[in-house]
A = this chain, B = another copy of it.
Amino acid sequence: MCVKLTCDILDTRLSTPAVINATLDKLSNKFADRREKHLGYPYNLDFDAWPISQFCKFLINNLGDPYVGSHYATEVCGVEREVVDWFARVWECADPEEYWGAVGASGTEGNLWALYLARETLGNPVLIHSTEAHYSVPKAAKILRIEALTCEADHTGAICPDALREVVQANRHRCVILALTCGTTMKGAHDDIASCISVLDQVGIDPSRRFVHVDGALNAMVLPFVDGLPSGIRPSFRHGIDSMSTSGHKMIGTPMPCGVLVVRREHVRRVASTVSYLRSDDTTLMGSRNGHAVLAIWNRLTRLGIAGFRHFARTCIGRADGFAGALRSASVPVLLNPCSLTVVFPKPSERLVNEYQLACHGNYAHAIVMPNVKADLIDRFVGDYTAEWPCNSRQKVFS
């Protein structure tokens, strides 16, 4: 999968500018080529980050707390706050003043930091997450030494409220961190946030003893723009959640992995400590945050606007429906959750998995209909897939 780099970089006779440039060109060519058939990861590859490329001559470093800034002048904390405000509105924070947020290096960072803030808030809580939660959630628990319990998801990938009730009931004396998912990694399912919170209420885990985080890496930038969305799955702070995160390099479309976390401000105050030499507070995991990622997100949000994301949501959902329909017409069993762009089907041959860069799990695989996945790519894939389908047909599928 890797390009063989032709120069041994310790051998300075070989690493001339011409060789270095040729290596970069080779990479660029390979990337352009492979992008065309990409189908498996939830990355919107139709972005245009050229206006941001002019900043490659600057080290843009957001140091310390985004709301305090730092002494280092080549920073974009002001832009970072604009970005967070945008999310705070889209995710329906009642009073943006009561929220804090930051742009981080990935969705994983958002989950880890949210769970850290939760732990610091609740002392010695138990974490409950579904079996379909992203692997970064149990990893964060391990890193943070938080006890974690899983709760079963149904066959669509969403948490089953009854299963949740059982786990919560068994831990009703403890403080609880509940990690929900808006768009599970493999099946694109949406946990019903409203129902899950009412389970906590019913069992008697009142707000002072709980912290609800929503991992919206996949779809927290899709669902707000869907017409006729069921209110329970809407990624919104109105449900009474404590934090929500999403990725920048998925539906938004940025050249680097990055993420955004929004959290109730009170939870951050607890961990803030002052770093005198930065003249800032230490309220983020990394300390240094990549300003280019901040600009890349801002560039997309401002150029696309709400209307642009609505257009994406409508078009992609339409195409995902068509995609699923085409497979079903060929008697392929397909899972496509409502308001979701993730089309799940039995795993094809290794050749197709590689060619289309499909993500697989067990005996199934998925494709994700991002804005760059157009009709012709879908048609080509469906053709290739159904051509070999009879050979796969005896395999066991989604239970």
Interface of A toward B, CB cutoff 8 Å? 1-5, 7, 9-10, 12, 15, 17-18, 20-22, 24-36, 38, 40-41, 43, 45-61, 69-79, 82, 86, 89, 105-109, 112, 116, 135-136, 139, 143-145, 185-186, 249, 253-258, 273, 275-279, 282, 285-293, 295, 298-299, 301-303, 305-307, 353-354, 357-362, 372, 374
Contacts and interface: CB of A to CB of B under 8 A. Distances in A.
Given A1-B69, A21-B57, A28-B54, 15 more contacts: A5-B82, A9-B301, A18-B46, A24-B51, A28-B28, A40-B71, A53-B56, A72-B357, A105-B109, A139-B282, A144-B144, A186-B277, A249-B288, A256-B292, A257-B288
B86 A54 contact: no
26 contacts: A1-B73, A2-B78, A5-B78, A12-B307, A27-B295, A29-B29, A38-B72, A38-B73, A40-B71, A50-B51, A50-B57, A59-B249, A61-B257, A71-B359, A73-B357, A105-B290, A109-B286, A112-B285, A139-B282, A143-B285, A144-B145, A186-B277, A256-B293, A257-B286, A277-B360, A292-B292
A359 B31 contact: no
Nearest to A69: B1
Nearest to A298: B9
A256 B43 contact: no
Nearest to A75: B1
A17 B72 contact: no
A190 to B, nearest CB: 19
Contact of A306 (B12, B20, B372): B12
Contacts of A105: 105, 109, 286, 288, 290
